[in-house]
A and B are shown apart, each in its own frame.
Chain A
Amino acid sequence: MKKIGRYFCTLFALCMFGGTAKAEFEPIIFIEAGYASLKYKTDELPVFLKSYNSYQTTLTQQFGLKLPAARGPYLKVGIGVGATCKMILDFTIYNAKSQPLSARFGDGTGRDIWVEHRLSNTNIGIRFGGTKEIPVWAQFNMNLAVQNSSLYFAYVYPDGSLSLGTERTLSGIYSNFNLAGGFGVAAGIRLLGPIGLAIGVDRIGVFERKKSIEYHKYSDLNNVKPDMQPDYIPRDMATYVSDPFNSIENSIGNDFRGWKFTAGITLSLGDWEAN
């Protein structure tokens, strides 16, 4: 990882001085909107799911242990300076939600759990191509993001309706945020005037994975009088039931990381002119 970082920094410096030294200097501004798929993995959540499955012995359908990829829209705005080699700075908001994992009892009741990731991402990149003469471009990215992950833990009633209320133990939304970052590549092509297509893939890691960050339920409800309920997702259900207010060493943390795939439509001004 360090080697990649050093290589990237060198390339970045060369691009800044080499690219911008040319007489031809094309600042661009672009907006991109599209769809992202966050194929993340977590080691912490399956610990809880396994424990829940073994504690609830009457389940007719147990939780699966792997959350599906979270998918949702993103919006990016950015600028670039340089010539055929540009320095790019962009900001992106992602909002992606996964399909639920389900556990059911014989009477139709049960639990659903799903995750929502909200990322505010700042990216510095180096773009090759994408000029008035060259309609295609490729880009190396270095990301830094505030990643807010929320685990939705809903109770399912026999009529199929979901409740995130406080009437059942564990129900609610458990959230926290951490600092995430990584490297990636992107590519694009200008198709119709300033409008083009862009795709990208990034490897996203979290900086504090070894120091697990707990999810908490009521951090967002504290502006209103909080209820006295345990506000963490346990590693061990039996311990949680016998001693619910003791979260020490019995709470899972947020360690979502993995691959982020994007595809979108881009509107870029500055690298295109009408004939």
Chain B
Amino acid sequence: MRKFIFIFSAIVTTAFVSCDKGDMEIKKLNRGEGTWTIESIVVEEYDSTGINRTGSTTRTDLGEFVFFKETTLSALFDEHFVTILIPDTSGVISGYTGGVYYDDSRVKIDCDPAPIVGGIVSLNGVWTVHDNGRRNQTWTMYILDNNATLATKYILEIKKK
């Protein structure tokens, strides 16, 4: 019986300790082959008040995210990465690799150089996750002008491949 209790406690404790939030949530993105297609990006422009929307553009079929985890012997921590594959107008695909953080509420992408999709939108930065589904996700990012009023809002939709 003591052996049973010990084994039970060890298994459960290990399972609970391994449930680190940051590591657990990003598994939603990098499970399987970790590939998500960028379905669309909506660019909403706002006037100088930051309240009235002056225009909206939607672009589709913009490329792919490939999320993965890389552990090296020299690294202090397990690191999560993303490679973003973006085709240009002639169909030539460029790859951008950098760090990524994801916690179900925010995603931070940091590639150097910055990946640009649709010719105008940099994917680098902290996105707010509005839909954190396992198959589809919606992220938004807000860009302010020099007066700290809303200038542009990006709405990015991605789909698990």
B48 interfacial by beta-carbon distance below 8 Å: no
Say whether B142 contacts A157, CB under 8 Å: yes
A223 interfacial by beta-carbon distance below 8 Å: yes
Interface 1/0s, chain B 118-156, versus A by CB < 8 A?
000000011110100000000011111000101001000
Instruction: Decide: A221 near B19, CB < 8 A? Known: A81-B5, A158-B50.
Output: no
Task: Tell which of B79, B99, B126, B153 has the most Cβ of chain A within 10 Å.
Answer: B126
Other-chain contact of A220, B8, B49, B101 (Cβ < 8 Å): B101
> Which of B9-17, B31-39, B60-68, B87-95 is found at the contact surface with chain A?
B9-17
Say whether B51 contacts A120, CB under 8 Å: no
Instruction: Decide: A224 near B103, CB < 8 A? Known: A89-B9, A166-B126.
Output: no
Interface 1/0s, chain A 109-149, versus B by CB < 8 A?
00000000010100000000000000000000000000010
**Given A27-B4, A79-B4, A224-B108; 17 other pairs, CB 8 A cutoff:** A108-B51, A161-B130, A161-B153, A163-B142, A164-B126, A165-B106, A165-B127, A167-B142, A167-B144, A168-B144, A168-B148, A172-B106, A221-B101, A224-B100, A224-B101, A225-B99, A225-B110
Query: Closest 3 interchain pairs by CB?
Result: A224-B99, A165-B126, A91-B12
Instruction: Decide: A81 near B12, CB < 8 A? Known: A107-B51, A118-B21, A167-B142.
Output: no
Pair count A-B, CB < 8 A:
86
Instruction: Decide: A120 near B142, CB < 8 A? Known: A221-B101, A221-B108, A223-B80.
Output: no
A63 interfacial by beta-carbon distance below 8 Å: no
Q: Closest approach, in angstroms, between the C-beta of A89 and any C-beta of chain B?
A: 7
Say whether A81 contacts B125, CB under 8 Å: no
Q: Closest approach, in angstroms, between the C-beta of B50 and any C-beta of chain A?
A: 7
Q: Closest approach, in angstroms, between the C-beta of A181 and any C-beta of chain B?
A: 16
Which residues in window 72-106 of B have CB below 8 A to A?
77, 79-80, 99-101, 103, 105-106
**A154-B12 Cα distance, complex, nearest whole Å:** 35
**A148-B19 Cα distance, complex, nearest whole Å:** 12
Number of B interface residues, CB 8 Å?
41
Instruction: Decide: A173 near B105, CB < 8 A? Known: A77-B12, A223-B99.
Output: yes
Say whether A163 contacts B128, CB under 8 Å: yes
Which A residue sits closest to B9, measured CB to CB? A89
Say whether A161 contacts B140, CB under 8 Å: yes
A162 interfacial by beta-carbon distance below 8 Å: yes
Interface 1/0s, chain A 163-193, versus B by CB < 8 A?
1111110001100000000000000000000
Instruction: Decide: A120 near B108, CB < 8 A? Known: A108-B51, A165-B141, A224-B101.
Output: no
Which B residue sits closest to A219, measured CB to CB? B22
Which B residue sits closest to A122, measured CB to CB? B13
Other-chain contact of A165, B12, B19, B128 (Cβ < 8 Å): B128
Other-chain contact of B150, A154, A157, A227 (Cβ < 8 Å): A157
20 A-B pairs within 8 Å (CB atoms) are namely A27-B4, A79-B5, A81-B1, A89-B9, A107-B49, A118-B21, A120-B16, A155-B142, A157-B150, A165-B126, A166-B125, A168-B148, A173-B103, A173-B106, A220-B21, A221-B101, A221-B126, A224-B99, A224-B108, A225-B99
* Across-interface contacts of A120 in B (CB, < 8 A): 16-17, 19
Other-chain contact of B101, A107, A159, A161, A223 (Cβ < 8 Å): A223
